Chain A
Amino acid sequence: MRATRAAHQALGLAALPRSQQYVCRACRAQAGRQFHTSNRDLAEVPFFQRLKHQIFGSKESQQAEKSREEKNKQRLEELHKSSGSGSGLGELEVKTGRHGQQYEVAAIVDPSDTQDYVPAQGWDGLERVGSEEWVKARADQGEQYVGFVPKKRVELSNKQWQMLLHHIMVEILALQQAGRAPGQVCYPRNADMYTWRQTRKAAMKSAMNRAGATVSFSDLAAEQFVLQAIPESASTETVQDQQVLINEVEFAVADADEALGWKASSDLSAPSWMDISIKNPSVKMALIKRTLQLTGKRLPDPAVSLSTTLADLYNHLQLKEQPKKLAQTPQMQRIKLSAPNVKVFTNRQTPIHKEKEIGRWKIIEEELVRRDLPVTGSRWQGAKSGWQ
């Protein structure tokens, strides 16, 4: 039965079309756990025997423990002899591991021989293990961790996303044209070297074979400024200043004034300048990394892998339009003109609304108040039976 089911599953899996390109790790592990053709009865060691070995130990493990104890005894005897002769005290044995690493073997201490051992009466003066502070001190030695992703996520409108992507892409293309690595765009920068004025005036153009893109600045000085602002190397000790990153986003998405002559399209569709190929993995990586660094917005892996142009990436980043409610659709707004017998309400209609419509509610309300009864809610008579 079990083998039949496994075979059936295998056939089913083989017959299914591969609609999904990406399967997450957890799902793959789950599938692996469920799908196995081996029979439990055919295992070399029975299940309960294996469980017994795990809990109480097997013959081999018991033998290994015995030999370990014997070795320890031998070493203790050797220790006694060496201490008697006065040599080898305080020297720890050094062993070489499988991968060439060296480690010291802990010294064996016989408590019966140690004369100056005093048992502790309380916990004062002893090393404490296990507190939160102890874990912190051991883990990072008090060092403050500064993450790559900003703590605070930046919320941007669609227009601001367009402006930010334009800014980042211009910087990346400038680096590429200068023969530098696009990944340098994420290096920490100086506080006074903001490039948003230069990048906003720059224009991007897709290459003839649509494999890449080129950027053209208004003047050579602007290009030089952008390249100077981005450092060529960054040491691992340099910490990214969060305020600089926040300012970078704020300046890049600040409203474009007319003098700069660059305008973002306000509608949901991506503008034409976004038809730039980002098939180059280093460009795509730099773009996503810089976006993540500046805004904290993460994109799912399938979205990243399926994006081939900047427009695709923008479609994933932009705010999605809220689904419209039926009463707010233009067709329902117009229905009253074509059919005067229809009433369209945007909110739920309660029995109170029906009473108000025929003018009976004020009488009901007055009577309820006079009798000291609750006016609203579902406790009044006729709330559930409906309006006659």
Chain B
Amino acid sequence: MPLQALRSVAKSQNGVGAFILQCKRLDFHYCDWAGSSKGMKCAPLMNAFARQNPQIEITISPRPRKHPVIRGTYINGREKAVCVRNMEKEQVLEKANLLRDASGEKLRKVTKPVKSLNESVRGIWDPFHGSEWKI
């Protein structure tokens, strides 16, 4: 019986190899006494969020006499912190999702439709390239 080659063909993914979440850690800080942490101190909400995002390291610690804060740490080394004082639990969850989905980069206005780190296939333009002009 002749040996047959594998028939599978590599799928085209437009250059995308794998997705890595940029947020690696989220710190939840709250105050046990102050009322502004009311929305933050919702244990079931935190439990659900942690279970939905197992790839993120989550720490929950009190910060007495301060407003509640969610601090995100990203793989580019940057940090982002959002104050969630006086927010309801749904609003706090919204902010946690925002930090989870953020890239960690500074917020900039995007004006170009395409942005890539790859070099141009055509190479850098050179006046000596291309067809020769004969006079």
Q: Does A117 contact B (CB under 8 A)?
A: no
Is B60's CB under 8 angstroms from A331's CB? no
Contact string against B for A residues 338-363, beta-carbon threshold 8 Å, 1 for contact and 0 otherwise:
11111111111100000000000000
**What does the 1/0 interface line of B62-79 toward A look like (CB < 8 Å)?**
111000000000000101
* Given known A329-B43, A332-B43, contact A341–B54 (CB-CB < 8 A): yes
Nearest residue, chain A, Cβ from B53 = A341
Across the two chains, which residue of chain A brings its CB closest to B49? A339
Q: Which residue of A lies closest to B57 (CB)?
A: A341
A94 CA / B50 CA spacing, docked (Å): 93
Task: Check if A239 is an interface residue, CB within 8 A of chain B.
Answer: no
Question: B residues near A, CB below 8 A?
Answer: 27, 30, 32, 41, 43-44, 46-47, 50-51, 53-64, 77, 79
B64 contact set on A, CB distance < 8 A: 348
- A347 contacts which chain B residues (CB < 8 A)? 61-62
Q: Which residues of A contact B (CB under 8 A)?
A: 323, 325-327, 329, 331-332, 335, 338-349, 386, 388
What separation, in Å, do the CA atoms of A332 and B43 have in the docked complex? 6
Contact yes or no, A335 B50, CB < 8 A: yes
User: Chain A residues with Cβ under 8 A from B32's Cβ?
Assistant: 323, 325-326
Q: Is A339's CB under 8 angstroms from B62's CB?
A: no
Task: Contacts A335-B46, A338-B47 given; indicate if A345 touches B58 (C-beta within 8 A).
Answer: no
Pick the 6 closest A-B CB pairs, nearest first. A339-B50, A331-B43, A345-B61, A349-B61, A342-B50, A342-B58
Interface of A is mostly: loop
Contact of B63 among A327, A342, A348 (CB under 8 A): A348
Flag if B60 contacts A343 (CB, 8 Å). yes
CB distance from B100 to the nearest CB of A (A): 12
Nearest chain A CB to B13's CB is how many angstroms away? 28
Complex CA gap A323/B77 in Å reads 38
Interface of B is mostly: mixed
Residues in B with CB closer than 8 Å to A348 are 61-64
| Residues on the A chain within 8 Å of B61, using CB | 327, 344-345, 347-349
Query: Given A335-B46, A341-B56, A342-B58, does the pair A326, B30 have CB atoms closer than 8 Å?
Result: yes
Which of chain A's residues has its CB closest to B32's CB? Answer: A325
Please give the distance in Å from B109's CB to the nearest CB on chain A: 27
CA distance A361 to B44 in the complex (A): 34
Contacts of B51 in A (CB 8 A): 338-339
Closest CB-CB distance, B135 to chain A, in whole Å?
62
Contacts known (A326-B41, A335-B43); A343 close to B59, Cβ less than 8 A: yes
Name the distance in Å between B25's Cβ and chain A's nearest Cβ. 10
Nearest A residue (CB) for B52: A339
Across the interface, do B60 and A327 meet the contact criterion of CB distance under 8 Å?
A: yes
Asked if A345 contacts B43 (CB within 8 A), the reply is: no
* Chain B proximity of A319: nearest CB distance (Å): 19
Residues of A within 8 A of B30 (CB): 326
Given A338-B50, A343-B58, 12 other A-B contacts at CB below 8 A? Answer: A325-B32, A326-B41, A327-B61, A329-B43, A332-B43, A335-B43, A339-B51, A341-B54, A341-B57, A342-B59, A345-B61, A349-B61
A332, A341, A349, most chain B CB atoms within 10 A = A341
For residue B99, give the distance in angstroms from its CB to the closest CB of chain A. 15
A349 touches B47 (CB 8 A): no
CB distance from B20 to the nearest CB of A (A): 16
Q: How far is the CB of A218 from chain B (nearest CB, A)?
A: 49
Minimum CB distance partner of A387 in chain B = B73
Interface contact B62-A341, CB-CB below 8 Å: no
Tell whether, in the assembled complex, residue B46 and residue A345 are in contact, meaning their CB atoms are under 8 Å apart: no
Is the pair A346, B62 in contact by a Cβ cutoff of 8 Å?
yes
What's the least CB distance linking B65 to chain A, in Å?
10
Q: Which residues of A contact B50 (CB under 8 A)?
A: 335, 338-339, 341-342
The residue of chain B having its C-beta at the shortest distance from the C-beta of A334 within the complex is: B47
